[in-house]
Amino acid sequence: MNPVKIGIISDTHLSQPTETFKKIVDTCFHDTEIILHAGDLTDPAILTVFAGKEVHAVHGNMCSAQGCQLLPSHKEIQVGGFTIGLIHRFGNTYDFEQRLIEIFPEADCIVYGHTHRPVCHSLGGILYINPGSFTSTGSTGVGGTFAILEVGETLHGQIYQLQAKL
Cβ pair 118, 130 in contact under 8 A: yes
The reported pTM is 0.94
pLDDT, tens digit, 9 for 90 and up, residues 72-121: 999 999 999 999 999 998 766 667 788 898 899 999 999 999 988 899 99
User: Alpha carbon of 132 to those of 39, 57, 78: distances in Å?
Assistant: 11, 15, 23
Give residue-wise pLDDT tens across range 38-66. Answer: 999 989 999 999 999 999 999 999 888 99
CA dihedral (129, 81, 6, 62) positive or negative: negative
The residues spanned by each domain of the chain are 4-161
Instruction: Give the CATH number of domain 4-161.
Output: 3.60.21.10
Q: What whole-number distance in Å separates Cα of residue 41 and Cα of residue 57? A: 9
Residue 164: predicted pLDDT: 63
**Alpha carbon distance, N-terminus to C-terminus of the chain:** 36
